[in-house]
Amino acid sequence: MSRTTVKKAIADFDAAQLRELLLDIYGKSKEAKELLDFFANPDIPTKLEEYKKPLSKEINRYVRRAHRPRIPKIRALHKKFATIEPGDEAIADLMVFTIVELCTVATDDWFKDSTNEAINKLFLETLNYLQPRMLLDEYLPRLTKVINGMKDFRYYKNPLREILLDTLYRFQLDIH
């Protein structure tokens, strides 16, 4: 069913019928409940912390003696958070939190090459989100610090750090 069809279907509803419909939807859909709760009480810091917990759990996911974060799940959490429309700063904060956490885990452990590439793509998406919203100056020092703080492993350089530094360098060349 399309949005136009729904709009036509509810066009003849009066205020009481619309309220009843909203309450029915509220009771039946978990996503609608979350959206309407946030609409009624828009507490952005609490909602942000609520989303950071499952993100942190996913980032620190440990399977078969190695960290195995699932980047599609992380993206899904970002997208779900953005659907409640908390504002650009809150979304940016969540995206930067994700990159910082991933870099923190990669400081002490390594990821597979495919995971490193997916993290790099997520990092580039974060930079591309920050730039048009004029949030790059606020978050770039934090990102640079955490990437530079990633230590090398015993016999070779940290591959994620090298990839992210290269992406950051290319991104800065593109915007200047």
Each residue of 22-47: pLDDT tens digit? 889 889 989 889 988 888 899 999 99
Q: Which residues contact 22 (CB under 8 A, 6 or more apart)?
A: 36
Burial 12-21, CB ≥16 within 10 A → b, else e: eeeeeeeeee
pLDDT at site 133: 96
pLDDT average, residue stretch 57-65: 91
pLDDT top residue among 25 and 133:
133
The residue count for the chain: 176
pTM: 0.89
Q: What are phi and psi of 143, to 5 degrees?
A: -65, -45
